[in-house]
């Protein structure tokens, strides 16, 4: 399976279990690896035969900016589901970064990584 990767998609969301997270929001960063067969697109040089990663990026940002959830696990699942709506995408790896998580000790980042496939 071929892979198309989008790294570092940034959007402000209001996800989290604490009232401050819901009220003020914070930046979330998303990395995606989309698994698909790119041979038909390469053979025909036709965008319609692959995934339009610009559209995927816009959709992912809309999910992050959309309805708040408590857990980044839930957010990652929603993002994966959106990506799998694209016909050619057979598998997706989603990494959601929450670099401003409300943790009381020094840290660089908090992430969740999930992989989902068409059933």
Instruction: Answer yes or no: 98 catalytic.
Output: yes
Sheet of 2-13, strands arranged across: 2-13, 26-36, 91-97, 111-117
In the numeric block, which tokens belong to residue 80? Answer: 């994966």
CB 30 within 8 A of CB 11: yes
Residue 28 in 3-state DSSP?
A: strand
Distance CA 114, CA 112 (A): 7
Among the listed residues 10, 49, 85, 98, the single catalytic one is 98
Residues with active-site annotation: 98
């Amino acid at each position: 399976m071929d892979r198309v990767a989008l790294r570092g998609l940034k959007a402000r969301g209001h996800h989290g279990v604490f009232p401050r997270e819901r009220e003020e929001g914070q930046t979330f960063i998303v990395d995606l690896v989309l698994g698909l067969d790119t041979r038909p697109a390469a053979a025909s040089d036709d965008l319609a035969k692959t995934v339009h990663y610009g559209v995927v990026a816009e959709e992912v940002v809309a999910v992050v900016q959309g309805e708040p959830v408590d857990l980044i696990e839930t957010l990652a699942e929603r993002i994966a589901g959106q990506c799998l709506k694209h016909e050619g995408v057979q598998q997706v790896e989603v990494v959601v970064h929450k670099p401003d998580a409300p943790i009381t000790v020094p840290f660089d980042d908090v992430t969740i990584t999930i992989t989902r496939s068409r059933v």
